[in-house]
A and B are shown apart, each in its own frame.
Chain A
Amino acid sequence: MAFTVTTDKSGVVVVAVDGQLIVGNRQDLKQKVLDALEKGGRKFVIDFTRTGYIDSSGLGVLVSLSKKIRELGGDLRLAGLNEDLQTLFELTKLDTLFSITRTPAEALAAF
């Protein structure tokens, strides 16, 4: 399974991306986050520790989810980007749009 959703004891929804986040599976991620929003989740961490690569449509989905979550008064954080993925976020200036932490634990601690 590419996306694993868990909720920690304080209600933060953590979505782990296993493999890639690209044009062929981005809608699955979007739907999983929208479902969690529907159920009342407002704090989200997307964990990229086990992610190989992300394409621009994957980035696009993160942008749209981030907007949606903010509109509902929530917060989305990204964690676990490897050096290559970090480069991709810097290249596209999306590092300025997202709150990015080194590990999911740091993201959880920052809420």
Chain B
Amino acid sequence: MTSPLRVGVRRPDGPEPDIELWLHVPSRLDLVGEAVDLLTAQTERERRTALSARQLRFHFRTALAEALANAMTYGNRLDPEKDVEVRIHVGLRHVRVEVTDAGDGFDPHALADPTAPENVEREQGRGLFVIRHLADEVTFNAKGNRLCLVFRAH
């Protein structure tokens, strides 16, 4: 089966503009790995100086996989007809990632602490916690269906 994934790239003119990448991913969990690989490789190719190899390999990749899986599962209810949209702005000193689903949003403050003793043996509930520790900045839009992650060059 050929992959439905194609990364779009816009490279505006000017001395220091952000390069923009985008990718629409159908809500299929088997596509998460490939989408993360494509976007990580393209981000690295566009601007090697923005993030360190470790930030890209670990922080960026893991957080992006979490964000995609959450958007597909909770936002789009795993409906393969619904896409998750990823937009990545690659600057010289930072990378900003926006992950948008077609769902009704949720309250990110209403989640339990997965490291509390009563929760540590639970199978689920670690995704957003992991994201918050890996990205330098994590915000949601008011509706709660768009997650914005910022990774800064250290």
Contact = CB atoms under 8 A, between A and B. Distances in A.
Interface stretch (A38-46, A93-101, A103-111): A93-101
Given A92-B126, A97-B120, A52 B66 contact: no
Contacts of A60: 122-124, 126
A64 interface: yes
Given A55-B69, A55-B130, A92-B114, A22 B122 contact: no
A20 B126 contact: no
A24 to B, nearest CB: 5
B62 A88 contact: yes
Interface string A59-76: 111011001000000000
Taking residues whose C-beta sits less than 8 angstroms from the other chain, chain A's interface range is 20 to 34
A93 B31 CA distance: 28
A57 interface: yes
Interface residues of B, number: 26
A57 B69 contact: yes
A1 interface: no
B130 A91 contact: yes
Interface in B46-72: 54, 57-58, 61-62, 65-66, 69
Contact of B123 (A19, A24, A61): A61
Given A20-B33, A53-B65, A93 B120 contact: yes
Interface in A13-55: 19-20, 22-25, 52-55
A88 B130 contact: yes
B114 to A, nearest CB: 6
10 contacts: A22-B33, A24-B29, A24-B33, A56-B127, A57-B69, A57-B127, A60-B124, A63-B122, A92-B115, A97-B120
Given A24-B31, A84-B58, 18 more contacts: A22-B32, A23-B65, A24-B29, A25-B33, A52-B57, A55-B65, A55-B66, A55-B127, A56-B127, A56-B129, A57-B124, A60-B123, A88-B130, A91-B129, A91-B130, A91-B133, A92-B114, A93-B120
Interface of A: 19-20, 22-25, 52-57, 59-61, 63-64, 67, 84, 87-88, 91-94, 96-97
Interface of B: 29-33, 36, 54, 57-58, 61-62, 65-66, 69, 114-115, 120-124, 126-127, 129-130, 133
